[in-house]
Amino acid sequence: MIGLLFLAVGCGLSKEEEVDDAISQAHRLLSANKCAEAIAVLNGVGQQTSNAEWLGVYADAQACLAPWSVVSFFATDLPNMSTSQSAIIGSLATFQQAVMTSPSDGAYTNLRAAINTLLFAGGISEVPHSNRVDALGLSSANNIGVHALYMMINQIGQFSRYYGNALSTTGVKGSQGGSECYINYTDGDAQGIVTAYPAANNCDSFILGHPQLTGNRSRLCDGIVLFNNFIDVIANIAIGDTGNNGGLDELSANISDLCATAAGGGLDLGGTCTVKTHSVCLNDTNGDISAAQIERFYAVTWESMHQ
């Protein structure tokens, strides 16, 4: 009897082994497209906010619910991405997986949840890449960043197709009729930026913004932090020129200077170009993300990069 007792105790898994086993089970479930089951298995060992491997597969399971596949991303979508500053966002709107039919569409919200799992990795409360490095170490933070980057590229495609009112076939802003701009523009500085756009930009009115985005601060902040985290990650992670990255290594130099150039010209963008955490943007905790500054941010970034 005593021998059997010791045998039973000896067969028990340590917490670390339980987590490793849950990760392995989740991978198997995801390979069979059993998204919810994978999430349940991972939740069964509790939130592992400092375990980069657990976080990665948990994010994959959330993205699976969208559904979003990294295999399809590389095989079908990424080859269609342009690295031109004025064409990148339109090209992302043509991605097969850039599906979004409403602000509450699970294809969008589940992928956003997956991105947030990765951005807040390490249990951090604010999400700059440097905070993830401090919490997880450089190697794990870099892996998490690359993982998040792929998902954010698709989310930008969703955001731009829906709020940019773009056709999935061309990605051209305003091509579905109706809204020609992301938002309405009432600020004089923002109006001046919009007025200067070439005809190809399509945003040639101050009152043809998307009705689901104009005036909705939470959704406006979604677009701000998505763009800023995209820039932050791509500027700080190592992406080798592998020949299979669709030119990702070129993006940072092409788009990261938009805000700096505008600010250098005297445009007051406040904290819109640096905020990366949605709650900070939403609550305007520093008092420097006004409605006018948000309009200027959209004019400088989303509008200028989407033709």
- Count the neighbouring beta carbons within 10 Å of the beta carbon of residue 21: 14
Backbone angles phi, psi at 131, to 5 degrees: -70, -35
Helix H or strand E segment including 71: helix 70-72
- Evaluate whether 303 touches 181 at the Cβ level (below 8 Å): yes
pLDDT bracket for residue 248 (50, 70, 90): low
The angle at the Cα of 105, spanning 84 to 56, to the nearest 5 degrees, equals 70
pLDDT bracket for residue 253 (50, 70, 90): low
In this predicted structure, which of 22-26, 64-68, 97-101, 247-251 has the lowest mean pLDDT?
247-251
Tens of pLDDT, residues 45-56: 999 999 999 999
Q: Which amino acid is at 156?
A: I
DSSP conformation letters of 233-252:
HHHHS-----S-STTHHHHH
Q: Which two tokens stand for residue 38?
A: 């994978």
Write down the pLDDT at residue 32.
Answer: 97
pLDDT bracket for residue 258 (50, 70, 90): confident
pLDDT bracket for residue 250 (50, 70, 90): low
Q: Ramachandran region of residue 239, left (φ > 0), alpha (ψ -120 to 50) or beta?
A: beta
- Evaluate whether 182 touches 226 at the Cβ level (below 8 Å): no
Q: Which two tokens stand for residue 298?
A: 């959209």
Which percentage of the chain shows pLDDT scores above 70? 92
Distance CA 73, CA 132 (A): 25
pLDDT bracket for residue 13 (50, 70, 90): confident
